[in-house]
């Protein structure tokens, strides 16, 4: 068949583009090599009937009213503020580090002003925050860095904090009050019926054809299309001609406990040290689902496997720029999304990127 657009990847980037194009009258085919839509945000019920996230926990949060209103066309929401505890020695304490964390770790009874004074004493000020190590030492100093950040980061990325750009650790703030929410965005909600249902509604349009379990390679020769929107890894698109762009992968260990109503007190427990996995997430906290049992996932970082995280560090950015230079020359291919733009984007940032990308396509010649 003849399509105006072929979209490769049915995650947030591809699905938002498909919807925008279809609503402007275009005829769109969206494909994904996985057997489902939703990309990494895909969710599904496990054998016990619990809604889980096969590719790791996805919590929606944004400060963008525009993104929230856009997605609200395809889903209702459930209010949910994510909370995380870190297992440090035999204690579980709030992360991001806050007043309660400091008091529990050091056996203190600091008030807010004293907590600020404590951090002022232990922090190791840096003039320039270039690496993630600079960020952490500058805010909490070396003891808290070793307890909460250095081991976790080594596990998650296979790199020391000093080898990663500042933006990675800068995702985690430091607080002196008792706020124990993982995110402080103004809008924090989960899609009421899950992400997959939201994607189904987004792609439910007469101008959109969906095919899953199909790779770009297979479709290229069989379908005609005037323009391509590509949301997969940019280096793969160019046959890794400049070498492989590093992405970090994970393996997920899902487990169901039929007779355990609650596995852990909060959505996620982080394990900065001592375990091969970085965190455990219990889905019932995220979804609010009632069930006599519970389901969790453990995340084990690894080098090989599906590309989940671009790895933010200067040499990778330099390699990405070479691929980006090729991409910019393309007249009939658009690159958007976490893998195609090699950006450590959250879901809302991908939606925003896809919306602006589609605006520029419409504004173009």
Residue nearest to ligand FAD (CB): 39
56 is a contact residue toward ligand FAD (CB under 6 A) = yes
For the segment 134-163, give every residue that binds ligand FAD (CB under 6 A). Answer: none
For the segment 57-116, give every residue that binds ligand FAD (CB under 6 A). Answer: 57-59
- Contact between 167 and 129 under an 8 Å Cβ cutoff? The reply is no
Instruction: Give the whole-angstrom CA distance, residue 171 versus residue 166.
Output: 9
> Which residues make Cβ contacts (< 8 Å) with residue 185, sequence separation at least 6?
61, 62, 63
Structure tokens at 123: 């922090």
Question: Which is nearer to ligand FAD, 11 or 191 (by Cβ)?
Answer: 11
Instruction: Identify the residue among 7, 13, 30, 198 touching ligand FAD (CB under 6 A).
Output: 13
For the segment 242-271, give every residue that binds ligand UDP (CB under 6 A). Answer: 270
What is the chain's alpha carbon radius of gyration, rounded to the nearest angstrom?
22
- Contact between 154 and 183 under an 8 Å Cβ cutoff? The reply is no
32 is a contact residue toward ligand FAD (CB under 6 A) = yes
17 is a contact residue toward ligand FAD (CB under 6 A) = no
Least separation in angstroms between residue 124's CB and ligand FAD is 30
DSSP per position, 194-235:
-HHHHHHHHH-STTEEEEES--HHHHHTT-EEEEEEE-S-HH
Residue 187 parent element (H or E): strand 187-191
338 is a contact residue toward ligand FAD (CB under 6 A) = yes
Instruction: Give the whole-angstrom CA distance, residue 306 versus residue 79.
Output: 31
Question: Which is nearer to ligand FAD, 112 or 204 (by Cβ)?
Answer: 204
Instruction: Give the whole-angstrom CA distance, residue 335 versus residue 187.
Output: 28
Least separation in angstroms between residue 132's CB and ligand UDP is 6
Neighbours of 100 (CB within 10 A): 17
355 is a contact residue toward ligand FAD (CB under 6 A) = no
What, of ligand UDP, ligand FAD, none, does residue 172 touch, CB below 5 to 8 Å by kind?
Answer: ligand UDP
Contact residues: ligand UDP, CB under 6 A: 86, 95, 148-149, 152-153, 156, 168-169, 171-172, 270, 272
Contact residues: ligand FAD, CB under 6 A: 8-9, 11-14, 31-34, 39-41, 55-59, 215-216, 231-232, 250, 308, 337-339, 345-348, 350
């Amino acid at each position: 068949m003849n399509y105006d657009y072929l979209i490769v990847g049915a995650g947030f980037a591809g699905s938002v583009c498909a919807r925008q194009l279809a609503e402007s009258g275009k005829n769109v085919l969206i494909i994904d090599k996985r057997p489902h839509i939703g990309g990494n945000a895909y969710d599904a019920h496990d054998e016990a009937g619990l809604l889980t996230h096969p590719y790791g926990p996805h919590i929606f949060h944004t400060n963008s009213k525009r993104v929230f209103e856009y997605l609200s066309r395809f889903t209702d929401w459930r209010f949910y503020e994510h909370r995380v505890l870190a297992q440090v020695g035999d204690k579980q304490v709030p992360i991001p580090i806050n007043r309660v964390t400091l008091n529990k770790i050091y056996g203190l009874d600091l008030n807010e002003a004293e907590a600020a004074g404590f951090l002022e004493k232990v922090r190791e000020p840096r003039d320039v925050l270039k690496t993630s190590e600079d960020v952490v030492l500058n805010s909490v100093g070396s003891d808290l860095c070793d307890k909460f950040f250095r081991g976790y980061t080594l596990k998650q990325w296979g790199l020391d904090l000093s080898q990663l750009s500042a933006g990675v650790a800068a995702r985690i703030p430091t607080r002196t009050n008792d706020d124990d929410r993982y995110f402080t965005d103004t809008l924090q909600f989960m899609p009421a019926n899950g992400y997959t249902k939201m994607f189904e509604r987004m792609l439910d349009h007469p101008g959109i054809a969906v095919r899953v379990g199909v790779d770009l390679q297979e479709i290229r020769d069989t379908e005609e299309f005037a323009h391509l929107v590509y949301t997969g890894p940019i280096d793969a698109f160019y046959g890794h001609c400049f070498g492989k762009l590093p992405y970090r992968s994970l393996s997920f260990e899902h487990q169901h406990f039929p007779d355990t109503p609650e596995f852990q007190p909060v959505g996620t427990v982080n394990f900065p040290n001592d375990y091969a996995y970085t965190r455990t997430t219990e889905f019932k906290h995220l979804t609010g689902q009632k069930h006599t049992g519970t389901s969790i996932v453990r995340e084990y970082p690894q080098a090989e496997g599906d590309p989940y995280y671009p790895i933010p560090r200067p040499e990778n950015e330099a390699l990405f720029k070479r691929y980006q230079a090729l991409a910019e020359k393309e007249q009939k291919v658009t690159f958007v999304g976490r893998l195609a733009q090699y950006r450590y984007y959250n879901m809302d940032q991908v939606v925003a990127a896809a919306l602006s990308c589609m605006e520029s396509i419409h504004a173009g010649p």
